[in-house]
Every structure is written in structure tokens, then in C-alpha cells.
Amino acid sequence: MKLYKIIFIFLLCASYAFANKEIIIDLGMQKIYAIEDGEVILESRISTGKPGHRTPVGKFKITQKKRHHISTIYHLPMPFMMRLTNYGIAIHQGYVPDYPASHGCIRVPRDYAEQLFHWAPMGTPVHVKQAVEYADVYKRAQEAKKIEQQKKSDGNYTTAKNKRVTIDDFL
């Protein structure tokens, strides 16, 4: 009986470690999506860069994580900081009005910031786009489900893996 528990825990940890995770940021709608294996796991409103301090658009990776961080530029706390660039752009907890109000960072509400911080490992891809079709985020989830079903029916992971869609197909 103990052996089954150990195997279950090992498989659970292994599936978490090899999950395909990514973050999509929609500047136009001021939304953030955390996607794991094609499923939208977390979704929240955000506040990004105001005029004169726009949040850069592009593909980034989380390069640093700090639970308690103080900005070296503004000397203000940035809890649950996840750095995207070397010049000060990060995802972190902060005030989130219904419009862009930051100096370029992506501010998220406290509860979401903590969840996202623990969910996203170092190196997680972050896609920042001016406009993301809302339906495309969920279309990706449907495509991932189809691939998962094919993996089960084929019994051939490499075939299904080669057919996997990426977020770039939709953005």
C-alpha cells in the first residue's frame, strides 16, 4: 500500500514539473492569463504602463523571482516580483485600477500575485501583446484537449507532441 502512495506522489510531482506553462498578457484588455497544458488556470485584471512608461510588447521569460523585493529605481516594495527584463520590467503585486497606471511593470492584485508567483517557475515564457483575441486563449485550450485525447488513443506521445500547437499560432 505504501508503494502505491509513493508512486502516486512521484507521478504527481513529475506531471507538475513537466507541465507546459506560459503567461499571456493582453495590454488592450488589461488582462493576464496563466496557461498550463493549454488550460487557462488563472485569469485576472492587471494594470500596465501608462503613457510615457508603456509596458514593452514581446516574448520574455521569467529571469528572477523575489517574494519581498524593493525597487532600486523607485525605492518602493514590489511583493511577489517576477522579473522579465534587465531594465526594470516585472510582474508584481500592486494597485490595479481599471486602466494602465504603472511605470511599465505589470501590476496584479495581491491574491493573484501570490498564486502566480508560486505557480510559475523560473524560465516560464511570458507573451505580452497589445491585443489578444479572447477566444484564441480558450481555443488553445480546446486544441490541447484534442491533442491529449489523441495521445491517449495513439499511445504514441512523440506523434502527439509534434502536433502540439503553440501560443504563437494564435497571437
For residue 2, being part of any structural domain is answered with no
Q: Enter the C-alpha cell of residue 129.
A: 501583446
For residue 162, being part of any structural domain is answered with no
Number of folded domains in the chain? 1
Which pLDDT score, from 0 to 100, does residue 157 have?
A: 42
The answer to whether 32 and 44 are in contact (CB under 8 A) is: yes
What is the mean predicted confidence (pLDDT) over 96-111?
91
What is the mean predicted confidence (pLDDT) over 127-132?
86
Residues 92 and 82: their CA atoms lie apart, in Å, by 6
Which pLDDT score, from 0 to 100, does residue 156 have?
A: 45
For residue 10, being part of any structural domain is answered with no
Using the predicted structure, report yes or no on whether residue 4 has a pLDDT greater than 60.
no
Neighbouring residues of 22: CB distance < 8 A, sequence distance ≥ 6: 35, 124, 125, 126, 127, 167
Using the predicted structure, report yes or no on whether residue 47 has a pLDDT greater than 60.
yes
Which pLDDT score, from 0 to 100, does residue 126 have?
A: 96
The H or E element containing residue 82 is: strand 81-83
* Residue listed under C-alpha cell 515564457: 125
- What's the pLDDT band for 88 if we cut at 50, 70, 90? confident
- Residue-range definition of the domain harbouring residue 87: 21-149
Give the CATH number of the domain where residue 40 resides: 2.40.440.10
What is the mean predicted confidence (pLDDT) over 112-123?
95
Q: pLDDT for 136-154, tens place per residue? A: 555 555 665 665 566 556 5
For residue 39, being part of any structural domain is answered with yes
Q: pLDDT for 70-86, tens place per residue? A: 777 666 778 899 999 98
Residues 48 and 54: their CA atoms lie apart, in Å, by 7
Neighbouring residues of 166: CB distance < 8 A, sequence distance ≥ 6: none
For residue 42, being part of any structural domain is answered with yes
Under DSSP, the state recorded for 58 is E
Q: pTM for the full model?
A: 0.68
Residues 171 and 137: their CA atoms lie apart, in Å, by 9
- What's the pLDDT band for 106 if we cut at 50, 70, 90? very high
For residue 157, being part of any structural domain is answered with no
